[in-house]
Amino acid sequence: MDLKKYLNVLGAAMLCTALWTSCSDDEPNGGDDNTPTPLTRSFFILNRGNEGQNNASLAYYNAETGELNDKYYENANGGSSLGDSAEDMLVYGSKTYVSVTSSNRLAVLDQTGSLVKAIEPTNDNGEPMRPRYLAADGGKVYMTYYYGHAVAVLDTASLEVEKVIPVGRYPEQIVISNNRLYVANSGGLDYPNYGTTVSVIDLYRLEVEKEIEVTINPNRLEANSRGDIYVISMGDYGDVPNTLQCIDGETNVVRTIGNGSRMDLVGNSLYVLYAQYGDEASICVSKYNALTGELENDNLIPEINKVSTLSSINVDSEGSIFITDAPYTETGTVYVFDKEGKEMFGSPVDAKGYGPNTVWFVE
């Protein structure tokens, strides 16, 4: 299957085509100076790796030297592998947490990258729970159990799981807002019977208090400063396209904003990457006002088509936009654009690993 120019997605749903949505041909913003802005931010790249190949990796790009340590984890841990299918990472307090889903592993690292503890959760029958996405607050790390259809609460001092909270089927990304944890229940492996809800967990009682109906196959969540929750649902890879919605933090009313496949929210701006499978014309990066949901720019990166296999979007505090390029048969790269949408000097960065899917910035 040729994945060129489309967002990587898992499962049999990739066999279907989708609706046609095009972007405008606006010229990039900015003045007449075409000199690229240099990369000044150091960052980590989490490479998912190829399924079943045990080649997930964590790389560190040093902006001062312009060098990439592509064996950050291996060098700190005697050459051992991070595992199979690294999905998410989180730096919280003095530790880094990396979920390695197919290896059924949450790797907890210290500030040097050395492994402090590997958590490998199973149910009462010894079956793997498959940690997937992470969030943290109040001395706790929350992680979705993809196979366990639950959210686990990890105490960051003892590194012990204190509670497991059942949610919907195959939970994906989670986000904390309004003293609640929101969980996207994708139903991802139950094709074509995908999920349609976001679970809301009361963080005081650690119980699900409600389920909110959204578009089919919710995957991604972000919260603005007012407590509203943005949701990207991947649809059915056929008649229902990748859809961007917003849940009102007070009323729980859901409204549809537009289309999107991946997103990142920084300050009061929401950056949305749209790359509908089967529809090359859909590819674009848009910017929304995160407080109002209003579209501010529907073609933020006019040269986005130079990225062959779009995988993720991350934006730093200065508005620089990092787009990962993750061709399956080759090592990936990270393209970096400034806030005006121009590619920065030093971009792309060779990730030297397969399937780069998360960039974490060093402040």
Question: What is the per-residue pLDDT across 292-305, written as a single tens digit (0 to 9) for each?
Answer: 999 999 999 999 99
Cis peptide before 356 (omega within 30 of 0): no
pLDDT for position 8: 41
Q: Is the pLDDT of residue 9 over 90?
A: no
Q: From CA 183, how far away is CA 207, in angstroms rounded?
A: 12
- Cα–Cα separations (whole angstroms), residue 315 to 39, 168, 263, 336: 13, 29, 9, 9
| Mean pLDDT for the stretch of residues 336-340 | 97
Asked if residue 291 lies in contact with residue 226, where contact means CB atoms within 8 angstroms, the answer is yes
Cis peptide before 302 (omega within 30 of 0): no
- Cα–Cα separations (whole angstroms), residue 56 to 78, 82, 118: 16, 6, 15
Q: How confident is the model at residue 12 (pLDDT cuts 50, 70, 90)?
A: very low
Among 323, 177, 329, 182, smallest CA distance to 264 is for 323
Over residues 235-248, the pLDDT tens digits come to 998 899 999 999 99
Strand order across the 95-100 sheet: 86-92, 95-100, 105-109, 115-119
Query: Got the DSSP string for 309-335?
Result: SEEEEEE-TT--EEEEE--TTS--EEE
Q: Is the pLDDT of residue 22 over 50?
A: no
Q: Find the range with the poorest average confidence among 15-24, 175-184, 315-324, 349-358.
A: 15-24
Asked if residue 289 lies in contact with residue 296, where contact means CB atoms within 8 angstroms, the answer is yes
Phi and psi at residue 74, to the nearest 5°? -60, -45
Q: Find the range with the poorest average confidence among 14-23, 72-81, 351-360.
A: 14-23
Strand order across the 269-274 sheet: 262-266, 269-274, 284-289, 295-297
DSSP state of 13: G
Q: How confident is the model at residue 11 (pLDDT cuts 50, 70, 90)?
A: very low
Over residues 202-220, the pLDDT tens digits come to 999 999 999 999 999 999 9
SS3 category, 267: coil
Q: Is the pLDDT of residue 141 over 60?
A: yes
Q: Which residues pair with 91 in a beta bridge?
A: 96
pLDDT for position 5: 37
Q: From CA 309, how far away is CA 161, in angstroms rounded?
A: 36
**What's the one-letter identity of residue 292?**
T
Q: What is the mean pLDDT of the chain?
A: 91
Q: Is the pLDDT of residue 2 over 50?
A: no
Q: How many CB atoms lie within 10 A of CB 136?
A: 18
Q: Which two tokens stand for residue 79?
A: 């050459």
Q: Is the pLDDT of residue 30 over 50?
A: no
Q: Identify which has the larger pLDDT, 277 or 60.
A: 60
Among 14, 18, 17, 11, smallest CA distance to 3 is for 14
Q: How many CB atoms lie within 10 A of CB 264?
A: 19
Which domains can be identified in the chain, with CATH numbers? 12-44+110-350 (2.130.10.10)
pLDDT for position 33: 64
Q: Which two tokens stand for residue 197?
A: 């809800």
